[in-house]
Homo-oligomer: A and B are copies of this chain.
């Protein structure tokens, strides 16, 4: 099992590039094409593929359909992935309305909050009380949650959702979550992102630090 995060990110990029190429009518693709699309070298593409046992034809490249299928399987995207959003503030609501997930096989099943004024149990994507979280995710088999609560509540809420069985958290709160060993936490900290950008802009960075959240 490949545990290199950067490699998995590149797989996602290859998949996106492949979908574009497919929509343009491409049937075959070479490592160099994907390399250009993803901004890496062709050796890197072939090396990544070899890590997952993906093979093509010498001189014939790779079949686009097959490759998309193969990568989707690796990324778990051949089946619909169910997620929930916890925290219906600015970010949480925006993510709830974000339509980009559906095309990628990601389905937001519900939002959760502690503020009764935000509940809306009848909406297409319902907003439910946090008290209902455990029952909901267990009955629906949800393993992934997006955490978009204020920093002061983030630690507490993370414990609640982990105890309910969540195994992966995309954390937008600007704190370092300490999850259980079998829980994967991925953080997006907007201020840290901006600080980074500011640093490299001020540094007059020639070497663009190919940043992918």
- Identify the A interface with B (CB < 8 A): 1, 3, 5, 8-9, 12-13, 16-17, 37-39, 74-77, 81, 83, 90-91, 93-95, 97-98, 100-101, 104, 106, 143-144, 151, 167-170, 174-176, 178-179, 181-209, 211-213
Contact = CB atoms under 8 A, between A and B. Distances in A.
Report which residue of A178, A183, A184, A201 has the largest number of chain B beta carbons within 10 angstroms of its beta carbon. A184
B3 A209 contact: yes
A193 B202 CA distance: 27
Contacts of A98: 90-91, 190
A195 B3 contact: no
A157 to B, nearest CB: 17
Contact of A5 (B5, B151, B179, B211): B211
Contact of A186 (B37, B167, B175, B211): B211
A170 B194 contact: yes
A108 to B, nearest CB: 10
Give 8 closest A-B pairs by Cβ, nearest first: A213-B213, A94-B94, A186-B211, A188-B213, A168-B201, A90-B94, A168-B197, A12-B192
30 contacts: A3-B200, A3-B207, A5-B200, A8-B200, A9-B192, A9-B196, A12-B195, A75-B198, A75-B199, A76-B202, A77-B195, A83-B194, A90-B94, A91-B94, A93-B94, A100-B151, A101-B191, A104-B195, A106-B194, A144-B198, A144-B201, A168-B197, A170-B190, A170-B194, A170-B197, A181-B206, A184-B200, A186-B211, A186-B213, A193-B213
Contacts of A201: 143-144, 167-168, 184
A196 B198 CA distance: 26
How often does this chain occur in the complex, in copies? 2
Given A90-B97, A198-B75, A205 B192 contact: no
